[in-house]
Amino acid sequence: DNAIATQVAEWLAEAEHAVVFTGAGMSTESGIPDFRSPGGIWTRFRTVYYDEFMASPDARREYWHQKAMGHREFADSQPNAGHLVIAKWESAGNIRGVITQNIDGLHQIAGNQQVLELHGTARQIECQDCGARFDAEPLVAQYLETDEAPKCTECPKGRLKHATVSFGQSLPTAVLSKAASWSQEADLMLAIGSSLVVNPAAELPVIAKRSGSRLVIINRDPTPLDTMADLVIPGSIGEVLTAIDQAG
């Protein structure tokens, strides 16, 4: 709807510290299923908790099997129309940056430079013993060839895992506190493609709102924060963002 797009475009033009906050719905138009979609990697496998991963070679093998199966969904995906609009907004100075729960790296590939990844990134592998980082692609290929969980080359037998936050692992505190500051300082927050049910996703828009920010929610399904939002737009993210951009 045009009037709605124009309203958001006006708020975006007025704002000095606008922040975009994204969830898995941001990337469904890139072919990556969201959390709840049937058939997605998130519904196909048993969860391997962080403590299990650290404790048992079997759990590490199971983890690597799952990640290798889901890898192509990420590796072959491209930013969609919505990602490109958000990247344009950052380079034009309309937004401060993006806070994301996504691990797919598509905001950066689209061109965003200020991206806070609350749940880390699946594009990199991190040694849980020495902290060394590696590109994910060659290590996943190595796993597929050898059928063995890869080991760190920088330290003896280091346990390698994607640089993502696993279940049972806490969020990176530095990233989280920066995200909280951005939310507190925001005068406009666009919450896009998140069901807004888990913390801190559910918390950052509340922090923004309490500090006087406007809150716009763009999400197909209702969220628990809809009642506190200034505007809720239940459309396709790519179409809605394109319409806002064209109205600006």
Which amino acids are annotated catalytic? 119
Task: Return the residue matching tokens 């197909």.
Answer: 220
Query: Nearest Cα to 7, choosing from 230, 226, 211, 219?
Result: 230
Of 5, 67, 104, 241, the one binding ligand NAD (CB under 6 A) is: 104
Of 19, 27, 107, 163, the one binding ligand NAD (CB under 6 A) is: 27
How far is residue 92's CA from residue 120's CA, in Å, rounded to a whole number?
A: 26
Number of residues near Zn ion (by CB under 5 A): 8
| 216 sits near ligand NAD (criterion: CB under 6 A) | no
How far is residue 22's CA from residue 35's CA, in Å, rounded to a whole number?
A: 13
Query: Nearest Cα to 136, choosing from 21, 26, 127?
Result: 127
How far is residue 110's CA from residue 16's CA, in Å, rounded to a whole number?
A: 22
Task: Give strand pairing partners of 164.
Answer: 120
Tokens coding 38? 């049937």
Does 172 carry a binding-site annotation?
A: no
Which of ligand NAD, Zn ion, none does 194 bind, CB closer than 5 to 8 A by kind?
A: ligand NAD
Nearer to Zn ion, 64 or 89 (CB): 64
Of 51, 58, 154, 221, the one binding Zn ion (CB under 5 A) is: 154
Of residues 86-145, those binding Zn ion (CB under 5 A): 127, 129-130, 132
How far is residue 61's CA from residue 48's CA, in Å, rounded to a whole number?
A: 10
Which of Zn ion, ligand NAD, none does 193 bind, CB closer than 5 to 8 A by kind?
A: ligand NAD
Nearer to ligand NAD, 57 or 234 (CB): 234
User: Is the C-alpha dihedral spanning 22, 186, 180, 106 positive or negative?
Assistant: positive
Q: How many other C-beta atoms are found inside a 10 Å radius of the C-beta of residue 233? A: 24
For residue 210, what is the enclosing H or E element? helix 204-210
Nearer to ligand NAD, 129 or 172 (CB): 172
Does 80 carry a binding-site annotation?
A: no
Q: Which residues contact 221 (CB under 8 A, 6 or more apart)?
A: 195, 234
Number of residues near ligand NAD (by CB under 6 A): 25
Task: Specify the stretch interacting with ligand NAD by CB under 6 A; choose among 30-38, 52-60, 108-116, 152-160.
Answer: 30-38
Nearer to ligand NAD, 6 or 236 (CB): 236
Task: Specify the stretch interacting with ligand NAD by CB under 6 A; choose among 45-53, 85-93, 95-103, 139-147.
Answer: 95-103
| 112 sits near ligand NAD (criterion: CB under 6 A) | no
- Binding site residue list for Zn(2+): 127, 130, 152, 155
